[in-house]
Structure 1
Amino acid sequence: MASVRFQGLRSVIRGQCSPLRFQQRRWAQVHDVRYLASHHDPNHILDRYRSKLDQKAKQEGHDSIESLKEAYNEKIKDLRVKASTVTTPEPETPASNAAEPTAAKAPISHAAREVSGKANPIKPLSSYLDVEKIRELPPKEVEALWRLRFASSPTSICAAIPLEIYQRIMSAARQNPQFVLPLPRPSAEGEQETQADIHFLQWAFHPPAGEPAAPSGETANTHVSTVIFTHLGAFKMHGAFAQPHTTITHYLDLADDKGLVLMHGQVVPERGVSTMEATWLASCVQRFYDFEGQASGRKSELVRMFTQGDTENFKVEELMAEAERIQ
Structure 2
Amino acid sequence: MNPSSLLFRRCVGRASAPTRASQRRWAQVHDVRFYAAHQNPSKVQDKYRQKLDQKAREKGLKDAEELRSAYADKINEFKKKAVVPGVNAPLSEQQPPRPENAAETIPFQPPPPPQPTQIPQIPKSDPPVKTLSSFIDVEKTAELPQKEMETIWRLRHVRDGQSLCAVMQTETFRRIAATAKKHPQFILPLPREGQGAEIHFLQWTFPSPTTATVLFTHLAEFKLRGEYAQPHTTITHHLDLADEKGLVLLEGRVMENKGISVDEGKFLLMTLQKFYGFEAHTDSAKANASNRRKLMEQFSGGDENFKVEELLEEAEKVP
- Fold match, TM over 0.5? yes
Q: Residue 165 of structure 2 corresponds to which residue in structure 1?
A: 158
Shift of 1:323: 1.3
Q: Residue 320 of structure 1 corresponds to which residue in structure 2?
A: 312
Q: Deviations over 1:190-229 (max 9, x none)?
A: xxxx611100000111323xxxxxxxxxxxxxx4111111
Work out which of the two has the higher radius of gyration on C-alpha atoms and give 1 or 2.
Answer: 2
Equivalent positions of 1:158-197 (< 5 A) are: 158-187=165-194, 195-197=196-198
Secondary structure (helix, strand or coil) at the match of 1:322 reads helix
Equivalent positions of 1:188-267 (< 5 A) are: 195-208=196-209, 223-267=210-254
Pair 1:304-2:304 in alignment = no
Which 5+ residue runs of structure 1 have no aligned equivalent?
A: 1-60, 88-120, 188-193, 209-222
Tell me the distance in 1 between the aligned counterparts of 2:110 and 2:150: 64
Q: Residue 102 of structure 1 corresponds to which residue in structure 2?
A: none
Task: Specify which structure has the higher proportion of helix.
Answer: 2
Shift of 1:297: 2.4
Q: Residue 285 of structure 1 corresponds to which residue in structure 2?
A: 272
Tell me the distance in 1 between the aligned counterparts of 2:198 and 2:110: 49
Q: Deviations over 1:18-39 (max 9, x none)?
A: xxxxxxxxxxxxxxxxxxxxxx
Shift of 1:86: 2.1
Instruction: Give the residue type in structure 2 aligned to 1:238.
Output: R
Instruction: Give the residue type in structure 1 aligned to 2:317.
Output: R
Instruction: Give the residue type in structure 2 aligned to 1:86.
Output: D
Equivalent positions of 1:53-92 (< 5 A) are: 63=111, 67=114, 70=115, 73=118, 80=121, 84-86=124-126
Tell me the distance in 2 between the aligned counterparts of 1:129 and 1:71: 49
Q: Residue 49 of structure 1 corresponds to which residue in structure 2?
A: none
Percent of residue pairs bearing the same amino acid type: 46
- Report the number of matched residues: 205
Q: Which moved more, 1:284-293 or 1:302-311?
A: 284-293
Residues 315/166 of structure 1: CA separation in 2 closer, same or farther (3 Å cut): same
Task: Choose between structure 1 and 2 for higher RCO, CA contacts under 8 A separated by at least 6 residues.
Answer: 1
Equivalent positions of 1:77-156 (< 5 A) are: 80=121, 84-86=124-126, 121-156=128-163
Q: Deviations over 1:294-324 (max 9, x none)?
A: 7722122211221121122x21111111111
Contact 1:207 1:224 in 2 (8 A): yes
Shift of 1:136: 1.1
Q: Residue 41 of structure 1 corresponds to which residue in structure 2?
A: none
Shift of 1:164: 0.5
Shift of 1:184: 0.4
**Large movers: runs of 4+ above 6 Å:** none
Secondary structure (helix, strand or coil) at the match of 1:228 reads strand
Tell me the distance in 2 between the aligned counterparts of 1:134 and 1:305: 42
Which 5+ residue runs of structure 2 have no aligned equivalent?
A: 1-108
Compute the TM-score of the two structures, normalised by the length of structure 2. 0.59
Tell me the distance in 2 between the aligned counterparts of 1:262 and 1:132: 14
Equivalent positions of 1:3-14 (< 5 A) are: none
Residues 233/139 of structure 1: CA separation in 2 closer, same or farther (3 Å cut): same
Compute the TM-score of the two structures, normalised by the length of structure 1. 0.58
